[in-house]
């Protein structure tokens, strides 16, 4: 059996670690897919613009922790999900077949929903935004 988990944030990584520990001696394969190689502790992004923390200090590589509990980590961007075929399609053409799928890909803020928000405000919503705010 294969469980595929999308997203290497709090949701996806926690799910992967818990399932990885529980299924360690079974034939179940846990595959964690995320488009970034590092887990970022997002609450600490608030410190990045002020130079109180660097991104490297508030993040760690997912593959090292994944190895410890026998999870397969794949760094790829997911392009679509085909539920009827139980397949995840990645941007580079890779296809992952699953028995169970956990989607923990987070949220995408709609900056344009409120007029004037985009371009006129600073943010620490994600790593990219926090680094931009620093400049
Ligand atoms: C400054 C700040 C302070 C915060 N403070 C708190 C707090 O005190 N308490 C609290 O409970 N919460 C807090 N939060 C919120 C908390 O950090 C988020 O709710 C949490 O990180 C959400 O986790 P998630 O796993 O759902 O999503 P995310 O952290 O967004 O993770 C999603 C993951 O999916 C990956 N992904 C997305 N799309 C794709 C794709 N197509 N293909 C492959 N991978 C993909 C992303 O790269 C990411 O790794 C704070 C957030 C910020 C920014």
Query: Can you tell me the distance from the alpha carbon of 53 to that of 114, in angstroms, rounded to the nearest whole number?
Result: 30
Counted domains in the chain: 1
16, 18, 35: residue to mutate for ligand 1 pocket, most atoms within 8 A of CB: 35
Q: Six-digit token pair at 95?
A: 């296809």
| pLDDT tens digits, 61-72 | 999 999 999 999
Q: Which pTM value belongs to this model?
A: 0.95
CATH number of residue 123's parent domain: 3.50.50.60
| pLDDT tens digits, 24-62 | 878 899 999 999 999 999 999 999 999 999 999 999 999
| pLDDT tens digits, 7-28 | 999 999 999 999 999 988 788 9
| pLDDT tens digits, 103-132 | 999 999 998 999 999 889 999 999 999 999
What is the structure's pLDDT at 135?
A: 74
Query: Can you tell me the distance from the alpha carbon of 112 to that of 121, in angstroms, rounded to the nearest whole number?
Result: 12
Q: Is 48 in the pocket of ligand 1 (CB under 6 A)?
A: no
What is the structure's pLDDT at 26?
A: 85
Domain, as residue range, for 36: 2-134
Query: Can you tell me the distance from the alpha carbon of 135 to that of 125, in angstroms, rounded to the nearest whole number?
Result: 15
The DSSP symbol for 84 reads G
């Amino acid at each position: 059996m294969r469980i595929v988990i999308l997203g290497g944030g709090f949701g996806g990584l926690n799910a992967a670690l818990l399932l990885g520990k529980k299924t360690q001696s079974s034939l179940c394969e846990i595959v964690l897919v995320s488009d970034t190689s590092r887990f970022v502790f997002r609450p600490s992004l608030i410190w990045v613009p002020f130079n109180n923390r660097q991104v490297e200090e508030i993040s760690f590589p997912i593959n090292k922790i994944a190895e410890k509990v026998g999870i397969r980590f794949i760094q790829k961007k997911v392009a679509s999900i085909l539920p009827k075929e139980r397949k995840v399609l990645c941007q580079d053409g890779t296809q992952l077949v699953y028995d169970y799928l956990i989607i923990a890909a987070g949220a995408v803020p709609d900056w344009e929903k409120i007029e004037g928000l985009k371009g006129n405000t600073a943010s620490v919503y994600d790593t990219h935004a926090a680094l931009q705010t620093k400049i």
